[in-house]
Amino acid sequence: MKHVFEQKVYFSDTDNYGVVWHGSYLRWMEMGRVDYCAQNGYTLKQLENMDILLPVSSINIKYKSSAKLEDIVIVETEIAEFSGLTATFKQTIKSKETNNVFITAEVVIVAVHKDAKLYRRIPEPLYSIFEKEIKECNNV
């Protein structure tokens, strides 16, 4: 299930050139992944209480064009790949007004314990959620 939300571009999101600073996209992508988990029933606090933390292990971003002050952007987040050990989120940020794509990204996450030890596989309930999402995507 794709998670989608809208975000207004504020002055604090822009750089000296009046366009969205590259780090703002990272913040919105994080919001999308956090809300994706919450949409599937688990807030980050709940996961932490279950001894599950989800750090990013890699990010591949393609910057295609720049959002500007007061634009409304749409942030889309979905699971693209799941290996059992890692989950890859596909994320797109685009203009609400024109549908112009600003960035596309693939973000790989892993699951670790609070003491930073890596899980051998992403634990339940996330394992089942991610596996179900991948199966539904492949059947479409």
What string of DSSP letters covers 101-126? EEEEEEEEEE-B-TT-PBPSSPPTTH
Per CATH, the homologous superfamily of domain 3-133 is Hotdog Thioesterase (3.10.129.10)
* 41 vs 55: CA distance, rounded Å: 19
Provide the token pair at 13. Answer: 């999101």
Query: Which residues in the chain come in under a pLDDT of 70?
Result: 140
Residue pair 89/107 in contact by the 8 Å Cβ criterion: yes
Catalytic residue among 13, 15, 35, 71: 15
Paired with 77 in beta bridges are 3, 91
pLDDT for position 140: 53
Per-residue pLDDT, 135: 86
Residue 35 designated active-site: no
